Amino acid sequence: MQTTLAQLIPLIEVARALSVSPHTVRSWVKQGRLGPTRVCRRLLFSPDEIARFIAVASARRERTG
């Protein structure tokens, strides 16, 4: 599914939704764990990417106990 610009979620909203700091979200991007769409200097995230990230994080948490 193709995401339109209006559907993209800003970094600050992603951080709030995941209860982490914006710095943590930027760190996940640098580590390749979370893939943003860059518009100029802004990091925006598709809802599908956030859902994928949560699913992967949940699976890791289940494996590690």
pLDDT digits (tens, 9 = 90+) for 8-55: 999 999 999 999 999 999 999 999 999 999 999 999 999 999 999 999
- Residue 1's pLDDT band (boundaries 50, 70, 90)? low
Higher pLDDT, residue 61 or 22: 22
Please name each of the domains of the chain with its CATH number.
8-64 (1.10.1660)
* pTM (2 d.p.): 0.84
pLDDT of residue 47: 96
- Whole-number Å distance between alpha carbons of 26 and 40: 16
- Whole-number Å distance between alpha carbons of 60 and 50: 15
Phi and psi, residue 43, nearest 5°: -100, 120
Pull the structure tokens for residue 38.
């860059």
